[in-house]
Copies of this chain bind each other. A is one copy, B any other.
């Protein structure tokens, strides 16, 4: 269809969608909906509810929340009345909602919706001005690390349900540990955030470059930078935690001590939840956003991470295997969804102080994760295409095409086809028939095949007189005993169709196709 998409002059104006936006249609739409459905099912399994906020907010609600990126906010024209802006993410509207609803002291909420950024679009890289975000957040005061552990469990359930098992890694770290490390190494307090940002680039720059930025651009004492280097290149699991816990200089720092305690508790819970084998405790993970206050995490998968520099080993080898070598410039590797971070498919952490920005009431601690659903879609689609499962995705869900044939004097059997279709619809079966009074049999087969419909009910005048119809599975190989279909009693048609359709769909679940793309 791509070739039809050139911008056309029609009716005297340009026929196109606005720059950085797109129409979702066809198989992309089917695959995307399936991914959203899979994710939503997991959220619901854990008791989450959804909230649907307006696509625009009062301008002042968004003001001052995004720093330099505020220039990317879309404003509505001033047509009289309130000044509004399109939402830039789903976090600020959620915090606004929490602040407005003071009776809500705890909630697990998910939200899958479009957000808007007036950025320079780069369609080929998937950087859009209108794109989907998918956020899950837990707000409320609970015993330490329990909601945090459940979010990571949910994350594994989602990627496993998408069929990514064995092909993704959850990088994890803790802001308090990082802050402790910076303090112990001797970073001046006022430089902690900027040094943290530099560390966060270790997933796409070698340590030598990050060190140069720290010392030359940010004026850090080279000795301090070298001390930091000893920590932030560390990766592992419970072994690394034990190593850090044994470091008395580090544990003498209150912040680090608290962070390490959190981490020990979290790893304990993650073991019970069978999540630890997906975890890489990665001291280079710092996350760009300022508002995190506790555990932080990022999910990487094959093809999602930019090529790593030689001395910044990947968190998990498998996740790096096929990633293509490309220029590791910040702009070039820019995520389509900056909220999930460069090269990741999901990211988040604990932010205990954000809601207070909107609220006179006391803080509500929060922990959340944002799934980069557009990137997850792109990776899934690419894998399906590589593994030839995309072709099997049906454009619509019709299971039965009702058709008719006859010899000389054939009337088309339209009333009979309509009545059979009605009977199938009444039984909840997805069915259609040709909207022609006298369709030719090959035309009807072609229509069914184009739609990928798996079954045909074929009506013939003689068979109908005997109270029979024929059911035929499409595309059976030559020589199959049912290749030409099977005659069944019309009175038993619904049961016969249901049995076959259920069996067929169980064996050809599109969820498996979406998932299968990455399993073997």
A residues neighboring B (CB under 8 Å): 1, 4-5, 8-11, 13-19, 21-26, 29-30, 33, 44-58, 60-61, 63, 74-79, 81-82, 84, 86, 96-97, 99-104, 108, 114, 116, 118, 130, 142-143, 146-147, 150, 153, 157, 269, 272-274, 357-360, 395-398, 415, 418-419, 422, 425, 428-432, 435-437, 451
Contacts and interface: CB of A to CB of B under 8 A. Distances in A.
A459 B13 CA distance: 69
A157 B426 CA distance: 8
28 contacts: A11-B358, A11-B359, A14-B60, A15-B100, A18-B58, A21-B54, A21-B56, A23-B54, A24-B51, A24-B52, A29-B50, A29-B52, A33-B50, A45-B428, A45-B430, A46-B430, A46-B432, A47-B398, A48-B396, A54-B130, A55-B114, A75-B77, A76-B76, A142-B435, A142-B436, A143-B436, A146-B435, A272-B418
A192 to B, nearest CB: 25
Given A10-B99, A429-B45, A437-B143, A57 B18 contact: yes
A44 B431 CA distance: 9
A65 B13 CA distance: 13
A425 B58 contact: no
Given A49-B29, A143-B435, A357-B11, A100 B16 contact: yes
A15 B103 CA distance: 15
A272 B415 contact: yes
Contacts of A52: 23-25, 29
B435 A147 contact: yes
B29 A153 contact: no
Contact of A101 (B4, B19, B431): B4
A1 B101 contact: yes
Given A21-B56, A23-B53, A114-B55, A396 B47 contact: yes
A97 B153 contact: no
A47 B359 CA distance: 48
A131 to B, nearest CB: 10
For the complex of A and B, the 6 pairs showing the least CB-CB separation, nearest first, are A21-B54, A142-B435, A24-B52, A146-B435, A75-B77, A47-B398
A415 B75 CA distance: 50
B10 A360 contact: yes
A3 to B, nearest CB: 8
Nearest to A71: B79
B103 A4 contact: yes
Given A13-B60, A360-B8, A55 B422 contact: no
A99 B19 contact: no
A383 B168 CA distance: 48
Nearest to A77: B75
A432 B47 contact: yes
Contacts of A96: 15
A398 B431 CA distance: 34
Contacts of A86: 55, 76
A103 B29 contact: no
Given A5-B100, A76-B76, A13 B272 contact: no
Contacts of A114: 55
Interface centre among A45, A84, A97 (most CB of B within 10 A): A45
Given A29-B51, A77-B76, A395-B49, A10 B358 contact: yes
A419 B57 CA distance: 42
Given A56-B18, A142-B436, A147-B435, A76 B74 contact: yes
A153 B360 contact: no
A74 B77 CA distance: 7
A418 B143 contact: no
A26 B396 CA distance: 32
Nearest to A32: B52
Interface centre among A33, A51, A419, A425 (most CB of B within 10 A): A425
A135 B96 CA distance: 31
Contact of A396 (B44, B425, B431): B44
